[in-house]
């Protein structure tokens, strides 16, 4: 499936319009956190809706989120640990 510049522009135009209340309501229906966000974002970006979930599994999204949080914690904790242990 080809991805168009128009679809990318559609997503970029709405990237900061995350409606967590709508996602929470959708999650109650779908019982799936990632797909709830996919559905809510797809409603904002109708041109991009067919490609939003391409190539990204729920595990991929969740694992990357955890990795990002771990890196943030390491960035805070490691300097403190180095100072205390030197």
- What are the residue boundaries of the structural domains of the chain, listed by start? 1-54, 56-86
> Rounded to whole angstroms, how far apart are CA atoms 32 and 13?
25
The confidence score (pLDDT) of residue 80 equals 92
Q: Which CATH architecture describes the domain 1-54? A: Orthogonal Bundle (1.10)
pLDDT per residue of the chain (86 residues) written in tens, 0 to 9: 889 999 999 999 999 998 999 999 999 999 988 889 999 999 999 999 999 888 667 677 778 788 889 999 999 999 999 999 87
The confidence score (pLDDT) of residue 32 equals 87
- Give this prediction's pTM: 0.65
The confidence score (pLDDT) of residue 34 equals 85
Helix-helix angle 58-84:33-44, to 10 degrees: 110
Write the burial class of residue 33 (CB in 10 Å: 0-12 exposed, 13-18 middle, 19+ buried). middle
The confidence score (pLDDT) of residue 42 equals 94
């Amino acid at each position: 499936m080809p991805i168009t510049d128009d679809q990318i522009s559609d997503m970029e135009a709405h990237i900061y319009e995350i409606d967590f209340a709508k996602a929470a309501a959708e999650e109650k229906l779908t019982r799936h956190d990632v797909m709830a966000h996919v559905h809510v974002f797809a409603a904002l970006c109708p041109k991009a809706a067919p490609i939003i979930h391409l190539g990204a599994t729920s595990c991929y999204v969740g694992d990357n989120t955890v990795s990002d949080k771990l890196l943030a914690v390491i960035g805070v904790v490691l300097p403190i640990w180095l100072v205390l242990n030197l």
